Amino acid sequence: MAQREEILQNHGLRNTAFRLELLKMFQQTKSSLSVDEIKGKAGETNDKVTIYRALEAFEKSGLIHSVPDKENLARYALCHTACDSAGHVHNHAHLICNNCEDTFCIDQIEVPSIKNTAGYKINSSQLTLEGICADCLK
Protein backbone atom coordinates (compact mmCIF):
# COMPACT_ATOMS: atom_id res chain seq x y z
CA MET A 1 0.00 0.00 0.00
CA ALA A 2 2.80 2.42 0.85
CA GLN A 3 4.24 1.88 -2.61
CA ARG A 4 0.99 3.02 -4.27
CA GLU A 5 0.82 6.05 -1.99
CA GLU A 6 4.37 6.91 -2.99
CA ILE A 7 3.57 6.55 -6.70
CA LEU A 8 0.61 8.93 -6.39
CA GLN A 9 2.71 11.38 -4.39
CA ASN A 10 5.54 11.24 -6.96
CA HIS A 11 3.01 12.17 -9.66
CA GLY A 12 1.68 15.09 -7.62
CA LEU A 13 -1.62 13.35 -6.85
CA ARG A 14 -3.48 13.27 -3.56
CA ASN A 15 -3.81 9.91 -1.84
CA THR A 16 -7.52 9.17 -1.71
CA ALA A 17 -9.06 5.76 -1.18
CA PHE A 18 -10.47 5.69 -4.72
CA ARG A 19 -7.20 6.80 -6.36
CA LEU A 20 -5.33 4.08 -4.49
CA GLU A 21 -7.95 1.55 -5.59
CA LEU A 22 -7.78 2.81 -9.21
CA LEU A 23 -3.99 2.55 -9.28
CA LYS A 24 -4.25 -1.01 -7.94
CA MET A 25 -6.69 -1.86 -10.77
CA PHE A 26 -4.21 -0.61 -13.37
CA GLN A 27 -1.31 -2.47 -11.75
CA GLN A 28 -3.26 -5.74 -11.71
CA THR A 29 -4.30 -5.78 -15.37
CA LYS A 30 -2.19 -6.77 -18.38
CA SER A 31 -4.39 -4.79 -20.77
CA SER A 32 -6.12 -1.43 -20.65
CA LEU A 33 -9.29 -0.49 -18.79
CA SER A 34 -12.44 1.28 -19.97
CA VAL A 35 -14.52 3.58 -17.79
CA ASP A 36 -17.26 0.93 -17.65
CA GLU A 37 -14.79 -1.74 -16.54
CA ILE A 38 -13.46 0.56 -13.83
CA LYS A 39 -17.02 1.33 -12.74
CA GLY A 40 -17.78 -2.39 -12.53
CA LYS A 41 -14.69 -3.11 -10.44
CA ALA A 42 -15.12 -0.04 -8.21
CA GLY A 43 -18.69 -0.91 -7.32
CA GLU A 44 -21.55 1.41 -6.57
CA THR A 45 -19.64 3.72 -4.22
CA ASN A 46 -18.00 5.70 -7.04
CA ASP A 47 -19.95 7.43 -9.80
CA LYS A 48 -18.71 8.09 -13.32
CA VAL A 49 -17.90 11.74 -12.51
CA THR A 50 -15.48 10.60 -9.81
CA ILE A 51 -13.97 8.06 -12.18
CA TYR A 52 -13.55 10.57 -15.02
CA ARG A 53 -11.97 13.14 -12.68
CA ALA A 54 -9.50 10.57 -11.34
CA LEU A 55 -8.64 9.39 -14.87
CA GLU A 56 -8.10 12.96 -16.01
CA ALA A 57 -5.81 13.65 -13.04
CA PHE A 58 -3.89 10.40 -13.65
CA GLU A 59 -3.45 11.21 -17.35
CA LYS A 60 -2.39 14.83 -16.76
CA SER A 61 0.18 13.68 -14.20
CA GLY A 62 1.69 11.14 -16.61
CA LEU A 63 0.58 8.06 -14.67
CA ILE A 64 -1.71 6.65 -17.41
CA HIS A 65 -2.30 7.26 -21.10
CA SER A 66 -5.33 6.76 -23.29
CA VAL A 67 -5.38 3.99 -25.87
CA PRO A 68 -7.96 3.24 -28.59
CA ASP A 69 -10.47 0.41 -28.65
CA LYS A 70 -12.37 -1.19 -31.56
CA GLU A 71 -15.00 1.57 -31.56
CA ASN A 72 -12.27 4.24 -31.17
CA LEU A 73 -13.42 4.97 -27.62
CA ALA A 74 -10.88 5.72 -24.92
CA ARG A 75 -9.36 3.05 -22.75
CA TYR A 76 -6.54 3.70 -20.31
CA ALA A 77 -3.25 1.97 -19.51
CA LEU A 78 -0.36 2.60 -17.13
CA CYS A 79 2.57 4.56 -18.50
CA HIS A 80 5.78 2.53 -18.39
CA THR A 81 8.09 5.32 -19.54
CA ALA A 82 9.25 8.65 -18.19
CA CYS A 83 5.89 10.39 -18.53
CA ASP A 84 5.03 13.25 -16.22
CA SER A 85 2.86 16.37 -16.06
CA ALA A 86 5.05 18.00 -18.74
CA GLY A 87 3.98 15.38 -21.28
CA HIS A 88 3.75 11.78 -22.33
CA VAL A 89 6.65 9.96 -23.96
CA HIS A 90 5.15 6.98 -25.77
CA ASN A 91 6.70 5.41 -28.77
CA HIS A 92 4.99 2.02 -28.86
CA ALA A 93 2.22 0.27 -30.74
CA HIS A 94 -1.15 -0.80 -29.37
CA LEU A 95 -2.76 -4.13 -30.19
CA ILE A 96 -6.54 -4.43 -30.22
CA CYS A 97 -7.47 -8.08 -29.77
CA ASN A 98 -10.14 -9.21 -32.24
CA ASN A 99 -11.25 -11.91 -29.79
CA CYS A 100 -11.49 -10.32 -26.31
CA GLU A 101 -11.45 -6.72 -27.65
CA ASP A 102 -8.94 -5.55 -25.02
CA THR A 103 -6.19 -3.10 -26.01
CA PHE A 104 -2.58 -3.88 -25.08
CA CYS A 105 0.56 -1.74 -25.12
CA ILE A 106 3.24 -3.44 -27.23
CA ASP A 107 6.45 -1.77 -26.05
CA GLN A 108 8.61 -3.95 -28.33
CA ILE A 109 7.15 -2.30 -31.46
CA GLU A 110 8.18 1.33 -31.84
CA VAL A 111 6.19 3.91 -33.78
CA PRO A 112 8.35 5.18 -36.67
CA SER A 113 9.49 8.78 -36.51
CA ILE A 114 7.54 10.92 -38.96
CA LYS A 115 8.93 14.28 -40.01
CA ASN A 116 6.82 17.34 -40.71
CA THR A 117 5.91 17.87 -44.34
CA ALA A 118 5.30 21.13 -46.13
CA GLY A 119 2.14 22.77 -44.81
CA TYR A 120 1.67 20.36 -41.87
CA LYS A 121 2.93 20.17 -38.31
CA ILE A 122 2.75 16.67 -36.85
CA ASN A 123 2.35 16.64 -33.07
CA SER A 124 2.01 12.91 -32.50
CA SER A 125 1.46 9.62 -34.24
CA GLN A 126 0.02 6.27 -33.22
CA LEU A 127 0.38 2.73 -34.44
CA THR A 128 -2.67 0.56 -33.79
CA LEU A 129 -2.56 -3.11 -34.67
CA GLU A 130 -5.39 -5.63 -34.72
CA GLY A 131 -4.91 -9.32 -34.05
CA ILE A 132 -5.14 -11.87 -31.25
CA CYS A 133 -3.59 -11.29 -27.80
CA ALA A 134 -1.37 -13.84 -26.05
CA ASP A 135 -4.13 -14.91 -23.62
CA CYS A 136 -6.60 -15.59 -26.43
CA LEU A 137 -4.01 -17.58 -28.38
CA LYS A 138 -3.74 -20.11 -25.53
Q: How many CA atoms within 13 Å lie on the side-chain side of 118?
A: 0
How many whole angstroms separate alpha carbon 40 and alpha carbon 12? 27
pLDDT confidence of residue 5: 93
pLDDT confidence of residue 72: 80
Q: In which band, very low, low, confident or very high, does the pLDDT at 126 lie, cut at 50, 70 and 90?
A: confident
**E-assigned strand segments in the chain:** 64-68, 74-78, 92-97, 103-110, 128-131
Q: Region 98-106: what's the mean pLDDT?
A: 91
Residue 1 has pLDDT above 60, yes or no: no
Q: pLDDT tens digit string along 48-58?
A: 899 999 999 99
Q: pTM for the whole thing?
A: 0.80
**Which numeric CATH code is attached to 2-137?**
1.10.10.10
How many whole angstroms separate alpha carbon 43 and alpha carbon 47? 9
pLDDT confidence of residue 114: 79
